[in-house]
């Protein structure tokens, strides 16, 4: 069946909005303040603006829209205002085109199923293009392929983009999304304008960022990041679509052009490939801006933690690789009754030291794009309470009572209710051919404002004060439940030497252990060696109060392959210990790797201590660490090479001599 698309006459909403737009013909001149009409003339034809008014856009934005409309040749243009009315229109169109299906069990909730070839970020086709290769990635050694980003020179990149974007939106509507990362108008926020031919992307960006007229007002004549996105399927179609999901995986590219402040993404509509405010702007371009302007853009959650007995409250950030527990920790329901957690953000933190030397963080996002499998009332009740209205689910399974299902919800599905897997098996069971009901990287896209434990200061323009930085990953062996760095430099080394098992968040298939420094491996905007130097540089300012740095591992396994630590709400026990360490309480003891809790200093009340092997959970076996050190040597040598700061190499040598008994 041919795909249906937005067309002016089909839709009352668009018809109505057309009545209000100026439709006299004329060539808009981007040098004058206002275009003469709301119709764009391109060679041999014109493009109607069917929603919004070109004349309300700042001159630079209008120019950007005009230039790319001429290039991509959409049929029509829709300028997003962020209104409810607009959202109703988008949902109407998406439902009509069988891209979204209403989930009747919940309020204003929707299900999208993608082409099974477009289900995750594609790291190998994500590029940063700069004139100097070394600005983007370190030189590798021994013929190793760089694992710290993909670089392309600007000439080749131009060719790649020219192969894709001309005429790519034919027959479709080009949406113009002005969006703000961070609260609108905050001095720490950054503005982007995304052009896209996907209404699904608009509906998702509307949840994940702040969009629309208020952003245009805040932008004025200021700078913005130019973001261009296309599904890569002009009409009429030349191929059959799967699930009515337009994409072109063979031609996929996610390109960053920091020298032009531009992001261009083609061929995918999934998550970080297509919602360009998230990984592309807030992390890759963000980290470049942070390097230039003296701040940090990090793949980190931000949470508040309060001890209701002592009335003390602190904020912490934590960097875990994709699908390693940030959303769960950010929304944790603590099992200790005197610990209260509040959520500021679940994926990205922008941080800077203020003029008093206090590190402060804001969450640039406005929603959560969270991993569905594993989320349940048992593991993450606050997420479950967040996602039952105004949420777009993608690639989860649906239930015959109009709800959703994924691995982890087995105990929450009413009797007699049938499951339809994400791949369309109508009566799915664990014995079915599709191994899982939901795709392992299926997600919910939900407004942050609905989170029941949102921190009162989550939109504070100056950010919340950060007193601890936590790194972590999926480490089945050898890495203790928690350890603390000896100082800032050692902490930066711990971030640099992070490793974790691969997950379904990107295209990596096997559960291999990957180096993932700072959980930023897929998201560095510039040379990782420079990035390390940037982190180290904060210690040079004596005014800076450097937060303590920790490493946690919820994923250590026993001989039977079972997780040794209960995780989830019980992780608050570790955070309470971290809170004590912030105050320098005498609850830590040194190991060669870092300081771990003194026996008895973790509150384990309510847990079955006979079941818990705390000694093994905290252990740092030297044969394991000798291998680990060798792997880090090889990684630093091959991947970071000449760009590794000497103090980080010294940290590795010090670790080696502590582990092998040479002291240090």
Residue 272 touches which of ligand GTP, Mn ion, ligand SPV, none (CB < 5 to 8 A by kind)? ligand SPV
Q: Which of residues 301-340 bind ligand SPV (CB under 6 A)?
A: 322
Residue from 73, 206, 233, 278 in contact with ligand SPV (CB under 6 A)? 278
Nearest residue (CB) to ligand SPV, 275 versus 384: 275
Q: Which of residues 341-360 bind ligand SPV (CB under 6 A)?
A: 347
439 binds ligand SPV (CB under 6 A): no
Min separation Cβ 121 and ligand GTP, Å: 9
- CA gap 263, 258 in Å, rounded: 8
Could you give the string, one character per residue 212-251, with x where binding to ligand SPV holds by CB under 6 A and - elsewhere?
A: ----------------------------------------
Check if 146 is active-site: no
Residue 568 touches which of Mn ion, ligand GTP, ligand SPV, none (CB < 5 to 8 A by kind)? ligand GTP
Min separation Cβ 323 and Mn ion, Å: 8
Min separation Cβ 512 and ligand GTP, Å: 17
Min separation Cβ 271 and ligand SPV, Å: 3
Encoded tokens for 51: 């929603």
Question: Residue 104: how many CB atoms within 10 A of its CB?
Answer: 10
Give the residue from 221, 247, 218 showing the smallest Cα distance to 234: 247
- CA gap 570, 567 in Å, rounded: 5
- CA gap 200, 215 in Å, rounded: 20
Q: What are phi and psi of 99, to 5 degrees?
A: -100, -35
Residue from 232, 272, 373, 491 in contact with ligand SPV (CB under 6 A)? 272
> Which one of 272-280, 353-361, 414-422, 554-562 is the stretch in contact with ligand SPV (CB under 6 A)?
272-280
| Termini Cα distance of the chain | 70
- In 553-605, DSSP assigns E strands to 588-590, 595-597
347 binds Mn ion (CB under 5 A): yes
Residue 271 touches which of ligand GTP, ligand SPV, Mn ion, none (CB < 5 to 8 A by kind)? ligand SPV
Min separation Cβ 322 and Mn ion, Å: 5
Min separation Cβ 587 and ligand GTP, Å: 22
516 binds ligand SPV (CB under 6 A): no
Bond before 236 cis per omega within 30 degrees: yes
Min separation Cβ 116 and ligand SPV, Å: 16
Q: Distance of CA 350 to CAs 21, 184, 199, 284, Å?
A: 39, 15, 28, 12
Nearest residue (CB) to Mn ion, 393 versus 488: 393
Strand 110-112 and strand 392-394: pairing? Answer: parallel
Give the residue from 494, 491, 481 showing the smallest Cα distance to 548: 491
Nearest residue (CB) to ligand SPV, 345 versus 403: 345
Nearest residue (CB) to ligand GTP, 149 versus 271: 271
Residues that bind ligand GTP in the complex, under the rule CB under 6 A: 320, 322-328, 346-347, 370-371, 373-374, 379, 505, 554, 563, 567-568, 571
Say which of 72, 109, 264, 324 is annotated catalytic.
324
121 binds ligand SPV (CB under 6 A): yes
505 binds ligand SPV (CB under 6 A): yes
In sign, the C-alpha dihedral spanning 594, 599, 602, 607 is positive
DSSP letter, residue 480: -
Could you tell me if 175 and 202 are in contact, meaning their C-beta atoms sit under 8 angstroms apart? yes
Residue from 271, 277, 373, 473 in contact with ligand SPV (CB under 6 A)? 271
Encoded tokens for 324: 């390693």
* Residues pairing with 345 in the sheet: 302
- CA gap 50, 97 in Å, rounded: 18
Number of helical H runs and strand E runs in the chain? 17, 33
Encoded tokens for 548: 């303590």
Three-state secondary structure call for residue 222: coil
For Mn ion, the binding residues (CB under 5 A) are 322, 347
List, by residue number, the catalytic residues: 324
For ligand SPV, the binding residues (CB under 6 A) are 121, 271-272, 278-279, 322, 347, 369, 505
């Amino acid at each position: 069946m041919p795909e249906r698309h937005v067309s002016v006459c089909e839709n009352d909403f668009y018809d109505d909005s057309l009545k209000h737009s100026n439709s006299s013909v004329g060539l808009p001149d981007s040098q004058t303040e206002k275009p003469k009409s709301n119709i764009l003339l391109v060679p041999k034809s014109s493009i109607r603006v069917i929603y919004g008014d070109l004349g309300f856009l700042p001159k630079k934005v209008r120019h950007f829209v005009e230039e790319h409309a001429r290039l991509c040749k959409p049929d029509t243009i829709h300028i997003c205002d962020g209104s409810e009315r607009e959202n109703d229109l988008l949902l109407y169109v998406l439902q009509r085109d069988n891209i979204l299906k209403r989930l009747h069990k919940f309020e204003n909730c929707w299900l999208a199923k993608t082409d099974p070839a477009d289900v995750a970020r594609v790291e190998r086709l994500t590029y940063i293009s700069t004139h100097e290769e070394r600005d983007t990635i370190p030189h590798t050694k021994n013929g190793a392929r760089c694992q710290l980003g993909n670089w392309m020179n600007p000439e080749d990149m131009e060719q790649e983009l020219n192969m894709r974007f001309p005429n790519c939106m034919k027959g479709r509507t080009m949406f113009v999304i002005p969006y703000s990362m961070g609260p609108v108008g905050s001095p720490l926020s950054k503005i982007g304008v995304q052009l896209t031919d996907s209404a699904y992307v608009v509906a998702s960006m509307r949840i994940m960022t702040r969009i629309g007229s208020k952003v245009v007002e805040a932008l004025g004549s200021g700078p913005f990041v130019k973001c261009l996105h296309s599904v890569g399927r002009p009409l009429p179609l030349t191929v059959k679509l799967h699930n009515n999901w337009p994409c072109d995986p063979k031609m996929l590219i996610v390109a960053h052009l920091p020298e032009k402040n531009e992001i261009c993404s083609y061929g995918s509509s999934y998550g970080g490939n297509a919602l360009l405010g998230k990984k592309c702007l807030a992390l890759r371009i963000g980290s470049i801006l942070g390097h230039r302007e003296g701040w940090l853009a990090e793949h980190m959650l931000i949470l508040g933690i309060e001890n209701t007995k002592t009335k003390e409250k602190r904020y912490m950030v934590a960097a875990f690789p994709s699908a390693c527990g940030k959303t769960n920790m950010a929304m944790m329901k603590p099992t200790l009754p005197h610990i209260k957690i509040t959520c500021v953000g679940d994926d990205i933190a922008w941080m800077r030291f203020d003029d008093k030397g206090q590190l402060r963080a804001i969450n640039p996002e406005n929603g959560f794009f969270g991993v569905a499998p594993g989320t349940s009332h048992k593991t993450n009740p606050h997420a479950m309470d967040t996602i039952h209205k105004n949420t777009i689910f993608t690639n989860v399974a649906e239930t015959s009572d109009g709800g959703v299902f994924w691995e982890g919800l087995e105990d929450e599905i009413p009797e007699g209710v049938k499951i339809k897997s994400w791949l369309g098996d109508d009566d799915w069971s664990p014995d079915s051919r599709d191994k899982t009901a939901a795709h392992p990287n299926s997600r919910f896209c939900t407004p942050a404002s609905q989170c029941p434990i949102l921190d009162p200061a989550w939109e504070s323009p100056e950010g919340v004060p950060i007193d601890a930085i936590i790194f972590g990953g999926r480490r089945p062996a050898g890495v203790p439940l928690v350890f603390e760095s000896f100082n800032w430099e050692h902490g930066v080394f711990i971030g640099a030497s992070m490793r974790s098992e691969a997950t379904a968040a990107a295209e990596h298939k096997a559960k291999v252990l990957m180096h993932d420094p700072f959980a930023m491996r897929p998201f560095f905007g510039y040379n990782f060696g420079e990035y390390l130097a940037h982190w180290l540089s904060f210690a040079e300012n004596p005014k800076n109060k450097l937060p303590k740095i920790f490493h946690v591992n919820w994923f250590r396994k026993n001989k039977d392959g079972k997780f040794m630590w209960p995780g989830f709400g019980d992780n608050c026990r570790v955070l309470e210990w971290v809170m004590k360490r912030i105050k320098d309480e005498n609850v830590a003891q040194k190991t060669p790797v870092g300081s771990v809790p003194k026996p008895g200093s973790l509150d384990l009340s309510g847990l079955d201590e006979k079941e818990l092997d705390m000694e093994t959970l905290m252990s740092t076996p030297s044969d394991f660490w000798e291998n680990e050190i060798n792997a880090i040597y090889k990684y630093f040598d091959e991947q970071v090479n000449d760009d590794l700061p000497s103090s980080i190499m010294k940290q590795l040598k010090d670790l080696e001599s502590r582990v092998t008994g040479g002291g240090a």
